[in-house]
């Protein structure tokens, strides 16, 4: 389950387009940051995606991807032209194809590699849907099939694209917009596939063309309900409205850290067996089996867009660090594997994250002020470097990643040095005992 949002220049404090996304995946599904350079390709070349190959474009743009490490595509990312895209799972009445298909994350990467504007990226995805449709297993340890939606933005434009098989509808964003794991486009859209309404009429999902609503006709209500998508999308929309006109990248980071189920004594991740939050935490199955494994915030300007990446799980326990695509990606260690990978940014953070979870309120009171202070310092420095030479921005990005790692090392030392009772409930402890065993996590 995921959440993605955007605010156009009219709604932000500095006149930039602001984009944010949480990628929710399985607890041991490592998140990987990757830059792929621009390239020219010989005529007749093929590109191997997650499960299948398709003809390669003559030229592909440089891209920065935030992705499950085992998948060719990505949950979110950007390209050298300032296009950003976030992907969401959708559950519809059209059964997802279970063969070797293009998955939604493949479509996202292909659009970033081939689209120089948000509009072009939209056309890339809809063209690929027409030719190849979509499907394929997106599950890490268990089969998981779904359709897809996308929020696509660039420094001046943004679109919501929601799909079901080869059918789709697109909405041109005005002001603010958020999406989650549910179809949100209903009776009004700006563009759509030619057969969108006719297919629903043929399937008798709607009685007449006049009554047609994309969300009502195509949604699988059971899976959509269990995802808590409408509640999460309502939450992010409300938070964007409450701060519109004053929105900054820091505001979007805080929205991505939102826990909906606030309690008088303070929110903790181990009280509920069901439910989903914007900042998602896995728990005891079979419903709460995913968590936020990586987060991204983009500040899109015509000059030098800056992207804020955690590269690590649970934004409430992570720091957002600045990255400029043209300045490169700081060293994040070896590519994270399916089990604990020493030196990997994602897996080293898991030692902090999983220790923090066992006494969430205690460690949050100690670590959150330090996180916020350092992040605010990163943000202020990055604003001063907008338009600065690439060497200066590269050095600053590397410094921020290094200082974030040093702070997290201090947190881990505190967690290891203090003997604290595990405040989490029995079933939650058992769930994480299982996750840790599968990941071969070292003892804290």
pLDDT score for 302: 87
2 catalytic per annotation: yes
State pLDDT tens for residues 176-198.
Answer: 999 999 999 999 999 999 999 99
- What CATH architecture is 3-406? 4-Layer Sandwich (3.60)
Active-site option among 2, 61, 138, 316: 2
16-30, 99-113, 271-285, 374-388, range with the lowest pLDDT:
271-285
* 3-state SS assignment for residue 112: helix
List all residues 6 or more positions away from 17 whose beta carbon is below 8 Å from its beta carbon: 6, 7, 8, 9, 153, 154, 155, 156, 158, 298, 299, 300, 301
Residue 387 has pLDDT above 60, yes or no: yes
Local confidence band at 276 (pLDDT 50, 70, 90 cut-offs): confident
Share of the chain above pLDDT 90, in %: 85
pLDDT score for 238: 95
Return d(Cα 400, Cα 378) in angstroms, integer: 7
Backbone angles phi, psi at 305, to 5 degrees: -55, 140
Instruction: Identify each DSSP E strand in 137-290 by its residue range.
Output: 147-153, 158-164, 167-172, 176-179, 191-192
pLDDT score for 417: 94
Local confidence band at 344 (pLDDT 50, 70, 90 cut-offs): very high
Burial of 415 (0-12, 13-18, 19+ CB in 10 A): buried
Question: How many C-beta atoms surround the C-beta of residue 69 within 10 A?
Answer: 19
pLDDT score for 273: 64
Q: Are 99 and 133 in contact (CB under 8 A)?
A: no
Local confidence band at 284 (pLDDT 50, 70, 90 cut-offs): confident
For residues 275 and 293, which has the higher predicted lDDT (pLDDT)? 293
For residues 264 and 296, which has the higher predicted lDDT (pLDDT)? 296
Residue 272 has pLDDT above 70, yes or no: no
Rounded to two decimals, what is the model's pTM? Answer: 0.96
């Amino acid at each position: 389950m995921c959440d993605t949002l955007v605010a156009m220049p009219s709604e932000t404090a500095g006149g930039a387009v602001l984009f944010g996304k949480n990628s929710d995946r399985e607890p041991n599904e490592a998140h990987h940051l990757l830059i792929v350079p621009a390239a020219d390709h010989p005529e007749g070349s093929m590109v191997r995606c997650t499960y299948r190959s398709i003809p390669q474009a003559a030229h592909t743009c440089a891209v920065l991807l935030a992705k499950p490490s085992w998948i060719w595509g990505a949950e979110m990312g950007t390209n050298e032209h300032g296009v950003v895209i976030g992907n969401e799972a959708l559950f519809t009445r059209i059964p997802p194809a279970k063969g070797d298909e293009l998955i939604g994350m493949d479509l996202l990467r292909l659009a970033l590699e081939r689209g120089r504007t948000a509009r072009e990226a939209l056309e890339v995805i809809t063209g690929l849907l027409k030719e190849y449709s979509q499907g394929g297993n997106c599950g890490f340890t268990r089969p998981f099939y779904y359709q897809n939606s996308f929020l696509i933005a660039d420094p001046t434009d943004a679109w919501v694209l929601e799909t079901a098989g080869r059918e789709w509808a697109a909405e041109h964003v005005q002001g603010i917009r958020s999406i989650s794991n549910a179809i949100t486009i209903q009776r009004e859209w700006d563009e759509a596939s030619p057969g969108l309404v006719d297919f629903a009429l043929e399937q008798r999902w709607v009685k007449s063309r006049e009554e047609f609503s994309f969300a009502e006709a195509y949604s699988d209500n059971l899976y959509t309900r269990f995802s808590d998508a409408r509640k999460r999308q309502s939450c992010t929309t409300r938070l964007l409205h409450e701060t519109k006109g004053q929105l900054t990248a820091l505001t979007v980071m805080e929205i991505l850290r939102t826990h909906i189920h606030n309690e008088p004594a303070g929110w903790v991740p181990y009280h509920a067996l069901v439910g989903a939050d914007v900042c998602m935490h896995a728990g005891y199955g079979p419903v709460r089996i995913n968590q936020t494994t990586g987060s991204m915030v983009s500040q899109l300007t015509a000059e030098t867009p800056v992207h804020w990446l955690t590269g690590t799980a649970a934004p409430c326990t992570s720091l957002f660090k600045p990255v400029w695509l043209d300045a490169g990606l700081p060293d994040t260690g070896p590519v994270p594997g399916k089990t604990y990978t020493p030196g990997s940014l994602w897996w080293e953070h898991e030692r902090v994250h999983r220790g923090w979870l066992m006494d969430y309120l205690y460690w949050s009171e100690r670590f959150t002020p330090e996180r916020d202070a350092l992040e605010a310092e990163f943000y202020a420095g990055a604003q001063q470097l907008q338009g600065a030479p690439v060497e200066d921005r590269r050095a600053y990005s590397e410094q921020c990643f290094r200082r974030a790692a040093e702070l997290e090392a201090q947190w881990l030392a505190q967690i290891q040095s203090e003997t604290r009772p595990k405040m989490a409930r029995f079933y939650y402890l058992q769930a994480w005992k299982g996750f840790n065993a599968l990941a071969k996590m070292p003892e804290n």
